[in-house]
Amino acid sequence: AVELSRATPNVEVIWASTREVWNVIEADRLGCQIITAPADVLKKLPALGSRTADELSLDAVKAFRADALATGLTLDLSGRRAAE
């Protein structure tokens, strides 16, 4: 779409429904002129390159856990052994 739009000077490509920081990077690399993103994605952009993949992954797991706890979700893991 970006390549096709270059032939028409008054056309710009919009990347919408951005759900994660990686989508912003993809849109930029593809040359999209307009990228829409929710505030929670925009807040993460300044941290790009300052954290390891492990740190980002751990943050995501912690966020999922916090969301689950906030809803009152519990899991009965009695009788199960944690992965080693």
Listing DSSP states for 24-66 in one string gives: HHHHHHHT-SEE---HHHHHHGGGTTTS-HHHHHHHHHHHHHH
What pTM does this model have? 0.61
Q: What is the pLDDT of residue 55?
A: 87
**Domains of the chain: which residue ranges?**
2-70
Task: Assess whether pLDDT exceeds 70 at residue 27.
Answer: yes
Given a cut of 90, whether residue 12 has pLDDT beyond it is yes
| pLDDT at residue 36, as a whole number | 96
Q: Specify the pLDDT at position 53.
A: 77
Residues 13 and 34 sit within 8 Å (Cβ to Cβ): yes
pLDDT tens figures, 33-48: 999 999 999 998 888 8
Rounded average pLDDT over 15-26: 91
